[in-house]
Amino acid sequence: MSTRDDILARIRKSQPAPSPLPDVPMFDAGATPSLDAFKAGVERMGGKVVAIPGDGSVDALVRTLFPAAKVICSAVSEVHGNRPLADVRTPAALDDVDVGVVRAEFGVAETGSVLLTEDNFKVNALGFLAQHLVVLLDPARIVTNMHRAYQNPLLRTARYAVFMTGPSATADIEGVLIHGAQGIRSLTVILVAAGVTDAR
Amino acid sequence: MTVFVTRVDHAEAASKFIEAKDHADFHDKRLWDLRKKRDRETEAMPEWEELRALASAIKEHTLTHLGDYLEEFERNATKNGATVHWARDAAEHNAIVFGIMESKGARTLVKSKSMLTDECDMRPFLETRGIKVIETDLGERIQQLDNEPPSHIVVPAVHKLRTDVAEVFGRTLGTDPANSDVHYLAESQRQTTRPHFLAAEAGMTGANFAIAETGSVVVCTNEGNADLSVNLPPLYIASIGIEKVIPRVEHLGVFVRMLSRSALGSPITQLTSHFRAPRPGTEMHIVLVDNGRAERLGMADFWYSLKCIRCGACMNTCPVYRRSGGLSYGATYSGPIGVIIDPTFNLRKYSALPFASTLNGSCTSVCPVKINIHEQIYKWRQIIAERHALPFVKKEAMTIAGKLLSSPKLYRAAVEAAGAGVEHLPRIMMYNRLNAWGRQREVPAAPLMTFRQWYLENRGRP
């Protein structure tokens, strides 16, 4: 008997009497997705939320936010950057990126999370090798809580999907909180609807 | 055939832990702080108890249909382009991982934290075969560099102070051993780990959840190291205990809402990552590991422990764990959850662990999936006593206690004598090696009269 069949046979022999699968409610009756709650969630987890600037230029805003950035790599049409993703042959080539820019699918008010998939990153490593990440989010695309978030079909269809909540962090030494563990050192969410220039 | 196995002496190891007072005090304080943060989160959620009931029911349903869900997971993962392997035990798991690495000519492996690979002792197995394994979680890296196992399933180096980390990094990473600034230490690990990410030929993660419906592997982390381990190298291996499967994506809503709140008191981990299929041009392998789990599933009193989502809340709340440190358990899994899992791996070796508990039940009340931990601890004690696996001193103390407790007359005489005794006995009688309760504790002053004496005086004869 193969290992697989042996394991499955022993599991079936051991399985206790069947118990039923409960229905899971959404736990958001009467609640509306709150932008304020989303902002508070992002900030609590160490991120920042920035509103769209008066002149509407996200590109200029990114340059203002990161004046020292040498390499800006953008996966969105609103920001030009100087490291075209189309030229990236291996993920490791993004090692020197100072600022990555991506657009999130939606946000979650409960936690301050944003959902990003391989379509948003274009190269997944962009969200982790960049020193700083800027995430564009349409403020109309915020759901109440994680139950609602998991209703989105992308969680079934994307090869890779990640709920990102604030920058990478660790408290592994004496509980001292450090932002910028192995991944991004900062996360900035810019609230901006997908513009006409957005090719996607 | 009897194989002699040394019994882990938790009490002895714990006494050494307590000797380093700075460490013991900080450890206690840090973990209690996590417990308080957890309380703040859970008390702010009106549906917390409902979520616990749901989480428990979903896990029980899955475990009682485990064969079907594993097959569904395998089917979908395979459809996604992943290769699914099955391992009966640690040895098979390690051989499979090595085989995958070898087939691709991969000699370097960056990995995120996985208790399962610790359980399987995978690192030394691969290292002796010429594979360089880099732990990339900060706490786990500290432990790897110090050649110690993790002492906590969520915060692996929680028993170390910053000065210990400075010493370890100074010795192994070439940092300034006199500089124990936490930012400096964390930054040093970031800088020295990054080249490994960039050059690695393979990446590995464990799994917090495996979704039958989609064949996805779900990993909850804070540092970004799991996503780097998967998204850079051309080969990804996920090692998953068979109990980690859950039926559908929607069930993640329940578990993800509870996991980090229970573990760290944060609403969610910084990253909740769903790996469903390999990136184009890369390979994804999934190793499903039994290693005693199928057998545990058949243990009427103990199969509930398979519901565990490894949040560590039971450890953070446990007074014995907080004051003895994870390494004193001498096992991969420590604290209350370890106490009920470890004996299923080796009853003799871990027969002292179920006694490392006050049975206060706090572990059970904080458990997000409602495992009856303290009841299982009590049941293990019964089994160990029945099989005569108790250490001599404990056995003698229990025999005497048993005689006293089964005879009202003897009990009363003993209680009254003890009241007088505590006042007048020389200290050596109370604080000696035979009386474990006299260690690290002062017995409180005895009341002036026993409850029975008070009752007889105030309420007349019963």
**Does B58 contact A21 at a Cβ distance shorter than 8 Å?**
yes
| Residue B160: burial class (beta carbons within 10 Å; 0-12, 13-18, 19+) | buried
Angle, alpha carbons A101-A118-B257 (nearest 5°): 90
B429 to chain A, closest Cα gap in Å? 39
**Cross-chain residue pair B272–A14, CB shorter than 8 Å:** no
Size of interface A-B (CB pairs under 8 A): 250
Give the DSSP letter string of B68-91.
Answer: HHHHHHHHHHHHTT-EEEEESSHH
Question: Tokens 């989105």 label which residue?
Answer: A152
Distance from CA of A130 to the nearest CA of B (A): 11
* Local structure of residue B237 (DSSP, 8 states): E
Give the whole-angstrom CA distance, residue B296 versus residue B380: 13
Q: Measure CB to CB from residue A12 to each of B67, B268, B303 and give the nearest one.
A: B67
pLDDT over 60 at A167, yes or no: yes
Q: Which residues pair with B248 in a beta bridge?
A: none
For residue A43, what pLDDT is reported? Answer: 98
Distance CA B247, CA B209 (A): 10
Q: Chain-centre distance of CA B117, in angstroms?
A: 13
Nearest-CA residue of chain A relative to B275?
Answer: A160
Entry field: residues in chain B: 462
Rounded Cα–Cα distance for residues B25 and B370 (Å): 29
**Among B409, B408, B405, B386, which Cα is nearest to B397's?**
B405
* Buried/exposed code over B57-71 (b: 16+ C-beta within 10 A; e: otherwise): bbbbbbbbbbbbbbe
**A5/chain B closest Cα distance in angstroms:** 9
Spatial CA neighbour of B258 closest among B48, B107, B117: B48
Strand order in the sheet with B209-211: A142-143, A106-108, A113-117, A160-164, B271-275, B216-221, B209-211, B245-246
B223 with A20: Cβ contact below 8 A: no
Q: Tell me which chain A residue has its CA closest to the CA of residue B274.
A: A161
Residues ≥6 apart with Cβ < 8 Å to A30: none
Residues A177, A179, A180, A182, CA torsion sign: positive
With CB atoms and an 8 Å threshold, state whether A128 touches B224: yes
Distance (Å, whole) CA B127 – CA B108: 10
Q: Measured between CA atoms, how close is B368 to chain A, in angstroms?
A: 16
The answer to whether A3 contacts B92, with C-beta atoms less than 8 Å apart, is: yes
Dist. CA B197–CA A100, nearest whole Å: 18
Say yes or no to pLDDT of A52 above 90: no
Identify residue A12 by its one-letter amino acid code. Answer: R
Position B417 scores a pLDDT of 65
| Structural domains of chain B, ranges and CATH numbers in brackets | 1-44+309-390 (no CATH), 49-291 (3.40.50.10420), 393-459 (no CATH)
CB neighbour class for B423 (10 Å; exposed up to 12, middle 13-18, buried from 19): exposed
* pLDDT for position A200: 37
Separation CA B217–CA B274 (nearest Å): 6
* Exposed / middle / buried, residue A35 (Cβ in 10 Å: 0-12, 13-18, 19+): middle
How far, in Å, CA of B403 to CA of B400, rounded? Answer: 5
CA B416 to chain CA centroid, Å, is: 42
Q: Does B263 touch chain A (CB under 8 A)?
A: no
Q: How far apart are CA B149 and CA B327, in angstroms?
A: 8
Question: Looking at chain B from residue 441 to 460, which residues have their Cβ under 8 Å from any Cβ of chain A?
Answer: none
Q: How far, in Å, are A55, A123, B213 from residue A116 at the CA level?
A: 27, 12, 21
The C-alpha of A74 sits at a distance from chain B's nearest C-alpha, in angstroms, of 18
Q: What is the largest CA-CA distance in chain B?
A: 86
ipTM above 0.95, yes or no: yes
Chain A CB contacts of B66 under 8 Å are 11, 15
Interatomic CA distance for residues B123 and B144, integer angstroms: 9
3-state secondary structure of A142: strand
Contacts of B87 in chain A (CB under 8 A): 3
B32 touches A: beta carbon within 8 Å: no
Which of B158, B198, B296 lies closest to A95 in CB terms?
B198
- Chain B: residue whose CA lies nearest to A114: B271
Rounding to the nearest 10 degrees, give the CA dihedral for residues B195, B198, B201, B205: 90
CB contact under 8 A, B213 and A12: no
B275 contact residues in A (CB cutoff 8 A): 159-160
Q: Best interface-test mutation with A: which of B270, B290, B301 has the largest number of A CBs within 10 A?
A: B270
Q: Rounded distance, CA A64 to CA A106, Å? A: 25
The distance of B192 to chain A (nearest Cα, Å) reads: 10
Hey, is the C-beta of B224 within 8 angstroms of any chain A C-beta?
yes
CATH classification for the domain delimited by A32-191, as one of 3.40.50.620, 3.40.50.10420, 1.10.1270.20, 3.30.2320.30: 3.40.50.10420
B86 has a chain A CB within 8 A of its CB: yes
Q: What is the pLDDT of residue B457?
A: 84
Comparing alpha-carbon positions, the chain B residue that sits nearest to A158 is B276
- List, as ranges, residues 4-23 from B with C-beta within 8 Å of A: none
**Mean pLDDT (chain A, rounded):** 95
Q: Which residues of A touch B137 (CB under 8 A)?
A: 172
The two three-digit tokens of residue B168, written as one number: 């370890």
Grouping H, G, I as helix, E, B as strand and the rest as coil, residue B291 is coil
- Contact list, A163 vs chain B (CB under 8 Å): 256, 268, 271-273
Residue A70 Cα, gap to closest chain B Cα (Å):
19
What does the pLDDT read at residue B386?
87
Structure tokens at B242: 């068979």
Low-confidence ranges of chain B (pLDDT < 70): 1-4, 388-401, 403-404, 414-444, 461-462
- β-bridge partners, B241: B289
Q: Which residue of chain B comes nearest to A119, CA vs CA?
A: B279
The per-residue pLDDT for range A74-122, each reduced to its tens digit, is 999 999 999 999 999 999 999 999 999 999 999 999 999 999 999 999 9
Q: What is the pLDDT of residue B153?
A: 97
Select from B268, B289, B306 the residue whose CB has the most chain A CBs within 10 Å, as the one to mutate to test that interface. B268
Which of A132, A174, A187 best probes binding to B when mutated, by most B CB atoms within 10 angstroms? A174
Flag if B253 and A22 touch (Cβ within 8 Å): no
Does B228 touch chain A if contact means CB atoms closer than 8 Å? yes
Backbone angles phi, psi at A169, to 5 degrees: -150, 155
Helices and strands in chain B, H and E counts? 22, 10
pLDDT band at A198 (very low <50, low <70, confident <90, very high): very low
Instruction: Give the best residue of B227, B269, B287, B307 to mutate against chain A (max A CB count within 10 A).
Output: B227
User: Which ranges constitute the DSSP H helices of B65-152?
Assistant: 66-79, 90-103, 115-119, 122-127, 138-145
B33/A contact by beta carbon, under 8 A: yes
